[in-house]
Amino acid sequence: MDRHDVPGASAEDVAKAHISDLAIASQHGVQFISYWFDPDAGGAFCLAKAPERESLTTVHEASHGLIPNEIIAVSEGDVLRFLGQVRDPVDASEVKSPFRAIMFTDLVGSTALAGAVGDREFLRLLEEHDLIVRRVFVARLGREVKHTGDGFLAAFEDVTSSLWAALDILEGFRERDAQSGPSLHVRIGVSAGEPVDHNDDIYGTAVNLASRLCAAAQPDRVLVSGVVRELAVKNGFDFGTATFHHLKGFPDPVETYELVRGPDTG
């Protein structure tokens, strides 16, 4: 997968460049699979099979002169889990944004819980936990990227869906705890980003940030990044005041917000 920084470009501009790539790709042993375009960030992303990185660069340079700013090796499975169905858009009207909201969930105190109830009962509780979370993912169109053992990594196509999912997950456990015990508590972290970043990894920064936000969140709470809050507050979501956390892997304190409630929830 590669990234092109194309500030000011339109979807039509990117579509024309992609068509030019397709016309000569086979001459260099390259097969283009799909592409995405984020007009707000001015970024275009191509997914292709190539014998080597230089082959991909050569095609772009020969067809339209837009040299990739970054190229990283990815598996089609990883891309599918993060971005959904992979297919080549027919025209510019079908091009989708690669921007995704990333969520981590974590079952609080899972090790202590396992010790308290025993392995067999803990596995039953874990299955109950997984069912609650996965039902929400289905309802809110979230894609399960990874099951972490006592939590999940998931991707959503928009921030709004991810935050409703987070609220639904917390509500699901509140309803469950009102009916049976022992109580299960989760914490959730949500960030957002594009698939190729400057760490030479697919969703490197966005995934790492969501993971750290989840770890920093209090039980039964949702902690989000500043970008998520900025995108969601205009849609009626309420957040607490800004707090700054020193998160592992991030050199500077990270601005974070706790999600309070969704639109029209009183």
pLDDT at res. 136: 98
Domain 2-93 sits in CATH at 3.30.70.3090
pLDDT band at 200 (very low <50, low <70, confident <90, very high): low
Q: Is CATH 3.90.1150.10 the right assignment for the domain spanning 100-261?
A: no
Q: What is the pLDDT of residues 47-93, one digit of tens each?
A: 999 999 999 999 999 999 999 999 989 888 888 888 887 889 888 88
Alpha carbon distances (Å) from 29 to 26, 156, 220, 223, 262: 5, 33, 51, 45, 49
Which of 196, 106, 118, 204 lies closest to 151, judged by CA?
106
| Three-class DSSP labels, 147-200 | ECCCEEEEEECCHHHHHHHHHHHHHHHHHHHHHCCCCCCEEEEEEEECCECCCC
pLDDT at res. 199: 63
pLDDT band at 108 (very low <50, low <70, confident <90, very high): very high
pLDDT at res. 204: 80
Alpha carbon distances (Å) from 253 to 79, 176, 209, 257, 259: 30, 36, 12, 13, 19
- Taking a C-beta distance cutoff of 8 angstroms, is the pair 49, 41 a contact? no
pLDDT at res. 138: 97
pLDDT band at 94 (very low <50, low <70, confident <90, very high): confident
Q: What is the pLDDT of residues 112-152, one digit of tens each?
A: 999 999 999 999 999 999 999 999 999 999 999 999 999 99
Burial class (CB in 10 A: 0-12, 13-18, 19+), 252: exposed
Strand partners, 187: 106
Segment 11-18 shows an average pLDDT of 94
**DSSP letter for each residue of 82-99:** HH-S----SSGGG-----
Domain 2-93 and domain 100-261 have a common topology: yes
Percent of the chain at pLDDT > 70 equals 97
Domain boundaries, the chain: 2-93, 100-261
Q: How far apart are CA 196 and CA 135, in angstroms?
A: 29
pLDDT for residue 259 is more than 90 = yes
Q: How far apart are CA 197 and CA 102, in angstroms?
A: 14
Give the tokens for residue 157.
């196509």
The length of the chain is 266
pLDDT band at 198 (very low <50, low <70, confident <90, very high): low
**Distance of alpha carbon 237 from its chain centroid, rounded?**
19
pLDDT at res. 266: 45
pLDDT for residue 202 is more than 80 = no
Task: Return mean pLDDT, the chain.
Answer: 93
Q: How far apart are CA 105 and CA 30, in angstroms?
A: 38
pLDDT band at 216 (very low <50, low <70, confident <90, very high): very high
